[in-house]
Amino acid sequence: MTAPVGTFWQPASGCDDRCRDGRAVRRAGPVAVVVRLVALVAVLLGGLAMAVLDSAALRAMARGILAVLGVRLVWRGPAPRPGSLLVANHVSWLDVLALATVLPARMVAKHDVRAWPGIGGAAVRAGTIFIDRTRPSALPGTVAEVAGALRAGHSVVLFPEGTTYCGPERGPFRSALFQSAIDAGAPVVPVSIGYDSTEAAFVGDDTLGESIMRIARLPRLTLTLAAAPALRPDPGADRRALARAAQSSLAGRGYHLAA
């Protein structure tokens, strides 16, 4: 049974283009940028050319996208067991690709990701659970869908801030979908996502194309995923307390709580 939904949320980040490193950042040469963009198109077309992508092929495509954009991925901490709810802070669309490369999991994403070229189609085939924040009445169904996936032994990735932040800034973890882990009796694994440049942040009025170009212009980018020990909620646990505990457990793992 799910708890009452309460007031539905549509969080907004205060981060914008001014939050990024800007002109002080070193840039890759124009030839390197063109090579990366051509390689990125090739990776996307190669994946989309396949009528049906299985999970292994999708993970390979995610690894390919990170590789051609010069993103180095680092994982720290214990490996989550299958059937875990992974909850992470949210900085960039690269977060999803990074998590997809390190473990098989279904993602929870806002419904407009469906329309993103290349990435949207792959997300649908990967079993992404889409959440429509404009329809409060749909939230209980989303909670039930996530709980069902967890009970079936699928790990699920959730970004409970509900939107992206630049890195130094953080938003509170929204508690609604934590109810899924309580209902399913599933462990909650907090994961801190950090970048060595705020140029990776997808914030403000960014478009996907602008973000890709900005990342392609970086000589290199390191993306670190740091997992905290799993939280195991008791039956009937309070989802708000669980959300606060998950966010607090990320402190010291490249994550700083908002003031």
Q: 187 lies in a domain?
A: yes
Q: What are phi and psi of 32, to 5 degrees?
A: -60, -40
Q: Total structural domains in the chain?
A: 1
For residues 75-104, average pLDDT: 92
Say which CATH number the domain at 138 has: 3.40.1130
Instruction: Specify the length of the chain in residues.
Output: 259
pLDDT over 90 (residue 185): yes
Mutual orientation of helices 55-68 and 94-102 as an angle, nearest 10°?
Answer: 130
Q: 2 lies in a domain?
A: no
pLDDT over 60 (residue 43): yes
Mean pLDDT of the chain: 83
Q: 98 lies in a domain?
A: yes
Q: 79 lies in a domain?
A: yes
pLDDT over 60 (residue 51): no
Q: What are phi and psi of 227, to 5 degrees?
A: -90, 135
Q: 4 lies in a domain?
A: no
pLDDT at residue number 133:
75
Q: 238 lies in a domain?
A: yes
Q: 254 lies in a domain?
A: no
Domain residues for 44?
21-248
Q: 257 lies in a domain?
A: no
